[in-house]
């Protein structure tokens, strides 16, 4: 018999009362999720599914060690609790250090501002994907293949702990991804666009212009020259800024990364300067009620309590160029003697919570965007993203489109632009922070095998010196 989330709270309370004395900490999570997955590739719908997933997880901590078990049948819950406890006791040898948090007994919903995707038929969602596929294909005969991906998920969870927390939460997340690949002989170029929302199904409709731009970039790039690889002063747009702050800096701010790596912990010393005095970096779920009851914004990484029952906060990571904070679970906060920040998140009940970003952003500065180009004799202006990777403090990102900058003005467009560097050096090399700002709702973050966790990224345009730009490798300078 599958789990029912109708009236499980008494059961959870009884089980916690029976087993809590055997460990230092015990938590049970029940989850019900409902979602849609559609994939169109070329002219064909390859995936078209709706589903309901019901299950749960048990986490037990004993002498600093964790036991974990997941389940789909309520009849096995007692067995899973005993398995998690046995696993923790088998390896526990140290002290359990969990930063204290208030006990919560509450119900919270991240409310939609428009249509719930569950109110939209599967046929209508399929029709939307086919429409966007037609938009991508219609741009040019050189479009070789296109893809459109649609996904939505509504999750409802109940979290009960041995400390007395009984928390019920629910939210809905939606995402669409578009790609068009153009071919001319042996030259192949791809354009991509991604968008998402935790607000309304309408946010995924009427996107023809955005979808069209992906195909147009792919076609236009076919005839562009490859950028001459070198070290340049670079201006990046807010979308690339958001990608940079999330991928290159945000992951290094996750305290489990630092705690498990003594060398990184030494580098990420609170009070160390990393950037100019006008650099401010934040991470926060930003869902009301937050910050003394003031209303906040809802983005892809928004929620009210994290998956340990810690109230979501807005954490300043860099203030005036100096590292002042990091992102925590209760365990990392306890081990490092710092405050929990509400950043323990799991993708679903199959996985334990990890320290994860929510919505991460660089605050805007006061430089007009046009002034970012002033006095750049030869540089590169990069917009949007095509892909990227990070390895510790090193990063490489591919721009969706780019232009050369010559004598302070935009010049010819170029392709195959990759931006590489060391995140700490790059932060220090920020020369100017613009007064614009944009939220990118396209984020799906991966860590520890939990891929596609919704996040938000934001920022202004930036001017950065000494960025290694790759294109024609034979021309890369020092």
Q: Do 22 and 171 lie in a common domain? A: yes
Asked if residue 302 belongs to a domain, the reply is yes
Q: What's the token pair of residue 434?
A: 């613009």
* Residues 255 and 328: beta-carbon distance below 8 Å: yes
Determine the structural domain holding residue 238 and report its residue range: 230-475
Asked if residue 276 belongs to a domain, the reply is yes
Residues 6+ apart with CB under 8 A from 297: 286, 439
Residues 6+ apart with CB under 8 A from 356: 254, 327, 343, 344, 345, 445, 447, 453, 455
Gap between the Cα atoms of 39 and 94, Å rounded: 48
Q: Do 32 and 110 lie in a common domain? A: yes
Gap between the Cα atoms of 55 and 33, Å rounded: 9
> What's residue 386's pLDDT?
87
Q: Do 191 and 248 lie in a common domain? A: no
* Residues 297 and 288: beta-carbon distance below 8 Å: no
pLDDT tens across the length of the chain (478 residues): 345 555 788 999 999 999 999 999 999 999 999 999 999 999 999 999 999 999 999 999 999 999 999 999 989 999 999 999 999 999 999 999 999 999 999 999 888 999 999 999 999 999 999 999 999 999 999 999 999 999 999 999 999 999 999 999 999 999 999 999 999 999 999 999 999 999 999 999 999 999 999 999 999 999 999 999 999 999 999 999 999 999 999 999 999 988 888 899 999 999 999 999 999 999 998 754 443 344 568 899 999 999 999 999 999 999 999 999 999 999 999 999 999 999 999 999 999 999 999 999 999 999 999 999 999 999 999 999 888 888 889 999 999 999 999 999 999 999 999 999 999 999 999 999 999 999 999 878 999 999 999 999 999 999 999 999 996 543 333 2
Asked if residue 1 belongs to a domain, the reply is no
> What's residue 294's pLDDT?
44
Asked if residue 3 belongs to a domain, the reply is no
Secondary structure of residue 94 in the 3-state scheme:
coil
Q: Do 200 and 293 lie in a common domain? A: no
Sign of CA dihedral 219, 225, 226, 227: negative
Residues 6+ apart with CB under 8 A from 12: 28, 30, 158, 160, 166
> What's residue 6's pLDDT?
55
Q: Do 202 and 281 lie in a common domain? A: no
Query: What angle, 0 to 180 degrees and rounded to 10, lies between the N-to-C axes of helices 122-137 and 208-221?
Result: 30
Q: Which of 191, 221, 251 is the last residue of a domain?
A: 221
* Residues 229 and 473: beta-carbon distance below 8 Å: yes
Asked if residue 79 belongs to a domain, the reply is yes
Q: Do 110 and 170 lie in a common domain? A: yes
Q: Do 274 and 409 lie in a common domain? A: yes
Q: Do 163 and 239 lie in a common domain? A: no
Asked if residue 52 belongs to a domain, the reply is yes
Asked if residue 180 belongs to a domain, the reply is yes
> What's residue 389's pLDDT?
86
Q: Give the helix/strand (H/E) hosting 360.
A: strand 359-362
Structural domains counted in the chain = 2
Residue keyed to tokens 């931006």: 419
Secondary structure of residue 86 in the 3-state scheme:
helix
Gap between the Cα atoms of 333 and 18, Å rounded: 28
> What's residue 287's pLDDT?
56
Q: Do 176 and 265 lie in a common domain? A: no
Gap between the Cα atoms of 403 and 468, Å rounded: 15
Strand 378-391, strand 230-236: pairing: parallel
Gap between the Cα atoms of 409 and 412, Å rounded: 10
> What's residue 472's pLDDT?
56
- C-alpha closest to that of 198 among 234, 174, 168: 174
Q: Do 200 and 259 lie in a common domain? A: no
Provide the H-helix boundaries in 350-435: 423-428
Q: What's the token pair of residue 87?
A: 């696993």
Residues 6+ apart with CB under 8 A from 311: 101, 102, 104, 304, 305, 342
Asked if residue 56 belongs to a domain, the reply is yes
> What's residue 60's pLDDT?
98
Gap between the Cα atoms of 384 and 244, Å rounded: 11
Q: Do 365 and 393 lie in a common domain? A: yes
The burial class, CB within 10 Å (0-12 / 13-18 / 19+), for 38 is buried
> What's residue 3's pLDDT?
52
* Residues 284 and 358: beta-carbon distance below 8 Å: yes
* Residues 443 and 455: beta-carbon distance below 8 Å: yes
Residue 205, CA atoms < 13 Å, CB-side half-sphere: 13
The DSSP annotation for 281-333 comes to EEEE---SSBTTTB-----TT--SB-TTSPBP-EEEEEETTEE---B--HHHH
Q: Which of 192, 221, 250 is the last residue of a domain?
A: 221
Q: Do 249 and 331 lie in a common domain? A: yes
CATH number of domain containing 62: 3.30.2290.10
* Residues 172 and 117: beta-carbon distance below 8 Å: yes
* Residues 263 and 420: beta-carbon distance below 8 Å: no
């Amino acid at each position: 018999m599958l789990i029912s989330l109708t009236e499980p709270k008494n059961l959870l309370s009884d089980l916690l009362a029976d087993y809590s004395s055997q460990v230092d900490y015990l938590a049970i999570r029940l989850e019900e999720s409902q979602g849609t997955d559609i994939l169109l590739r070329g002219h064909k719908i390859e995936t078209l599914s709706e589903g309901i997933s019901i299950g749960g997880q048990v986490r037990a901590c004993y002498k600093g060690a964790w036991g974990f078990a997941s389940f789909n049948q309520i009849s096995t819950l007692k067995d899973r609790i005993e398995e998690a406890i046995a696993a923790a006791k088998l390896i526990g040898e140290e002290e359990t250090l969990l930063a204290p948090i208030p006990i919560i007994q509450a119900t919270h919903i991240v409310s939609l501002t428009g249509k719930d995707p569950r109110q939209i038929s599967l046929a209508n969602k399929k029709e939307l994907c086919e429409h966007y596929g037609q938009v991508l294909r219609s741009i040019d005969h050189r479009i070789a293949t296109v893809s459109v991906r649609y996904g939505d998920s509504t999750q409802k969870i109940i979290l009960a702990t041995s400390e007395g927390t009984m928390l019920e939460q629910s939210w809905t997340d939606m995402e669409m991804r578009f790609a068009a690949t153009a071919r001319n002989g042996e030259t192949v170029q791809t354009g991509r666009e991604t968008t998402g929302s935790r607000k309304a199904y309408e946010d995924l409709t009427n996107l023809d212009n955005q979808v069209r731009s992906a195909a147009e970039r792919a076609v236009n790039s076919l005839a562009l020259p490859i950028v001459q690889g070198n070290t340049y002063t670079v201006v990046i747009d807010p979308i690339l800024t958001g990608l940079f702050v999330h991928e290159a800096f945000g992951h290094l701010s996750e305290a489990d990364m630092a705690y498990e790596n003594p060398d990184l912990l030494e580098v990420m010393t609170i009070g160390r300067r990393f950037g100019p005095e006008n650099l401010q970096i934040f991470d926060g779920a930003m869902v009301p009620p937050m910050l003394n009851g003031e209303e906040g914004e809802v983005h892809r990484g928004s929620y009210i309590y994290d998956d340990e029952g810690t109230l979501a906060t807005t954490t300043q990571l860099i203030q005036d160029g100096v590292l002042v904070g990091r992102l925590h679970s209760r365990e990392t906060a306890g081990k490092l003697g710092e405050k929990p920040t509400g950043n323990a998140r799991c993708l679903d009940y199959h996985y334990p919570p990890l320290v994860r970003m929510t919505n991460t952003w660089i605050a805007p500065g006061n430089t007009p965007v046009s002034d970012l180009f002033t006095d750049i004799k030869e540089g590169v202006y990069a917009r949007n993203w095509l892909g990227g990777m990070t390895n510790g403090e090193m990063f490489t990102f591919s721009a969706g489109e780019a232009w050369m900058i010559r004598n302070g003005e935009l010049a010819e467009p170029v392709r195959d632009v990759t931006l590489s560097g060391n995140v700490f050096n790059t932060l220090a090399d920020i020369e100017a922070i613009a007064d614009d700002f944009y939220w990118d709702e396209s984020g799906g973050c991966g860590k520890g095998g939990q891929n596609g966790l919704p996040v938000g990224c934001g920022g202004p345009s930036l001017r950065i010196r000494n960025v290694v730009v790759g294109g024609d490798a034979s021309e890369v300078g020092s």
